[in-house]
Amino acid sequence: MTIQSSASNVRTVPPAGASLQPGFADPVFDAQAVFRASLLATAYPGRVVQVDRALMPPRPLSSATAALCLTLMDFETPAWLDRQTASGEVAKWLRFHCGLPVTDDPMTARFALITDTMTMPRLFEFHPGDVEYPDRSTTLIIQVPSLTEGPTTTWTGPGIKTSASVGIDGLPSWFWSDWNLNREVYPRGIDVIFTNGNTLVGLPRTITVEA
């Protein structure tokens, strides 16, 4: 998973008369802190990582989801938004704070923001990267009801000493079979960051999952 911070592009206070929720209080410092948390989650897949920057974003975004968006997205990263984020205040909020271009085509997105997992596209509908540039794949930010109380899965791979038992809740029934297909195209493939509340869990394409 290749993660790049876009802290310099984050704006914090809406213009006079606007009703948008604010972003980070200190754009550079806060984005750096969230970026470190995302790197930790990527380096140690399956570990629940706390994001210590609280936000009050527009619904349905959680604080961790919003913080990741402000940190990772900018005007150079087309993003696909699911229906309940694209149709509400979220899209306006992201455009203002990140200058975010929104795309209707999952295959052209550098990031995908998913808050309703039951209506999300299949994993193979997102860009897996190119053979020459596998880092150009889509990174999915998936907000879920819980990072620990779902069906138990066993994760193995880089960053995990032996194996990790992980219970991501709220995923569609096909998710882990699609993940197995994603693993087969390595070094190409999508990456995932799960969020809940003010916490996150990283799932790079290098990880094998037994469900």
**Structural domains of the chain, with CATH:** 24-210 (3.40.50.11310)
| Each residue's pLDDT tens digit, 172-188 | 999 999 999 999 999 99
pLDDT level of residue 19 (50, 70, 90 thresholds): low
CA 171 from chain centre, in angstroms, equals 14
Q: Calculate what percentage of the chain has a pLDDT beyond 70.
A: 91
Which tokens hold the place of 153?
């899965």
**Angular region, 129: left φ>0, alpha ψ -120 to 50, beta rest:** left
Distance CA 144, CA 208 (A): 20
Q: Is the pLDDT of residue 91 over 70?
A: yes
What number of CA atoms fall less than 13 Å from residue 53's CA on the CB side?
25
Non-local (6+) Cβ contacts of 36 within 8 A are: none
Q: What does DSSP assign to residue 21?
A: P
Lateral strand order in the sheet of 164-166? 164-166, 153-156, 208-210
| Each residue's pLDDT tens digit, 46-58 | 999 999 888 889 9
Q: Are 155 and 164 in contact (CB under 8 A)?
A: yes
CB-CB neighbours of 54 under 10 Å = 12
Distance CA 88, CA 128 (A): 28
Lateral strand order in the sheet of 139-143? 49-50, 199-203, 191-196, 139-143, 111-114, 79-81
Q: What does DSSP assign to residue 102?
A: B
pLDDT level of residue 10 (50, 70, 90 thresholds): very low
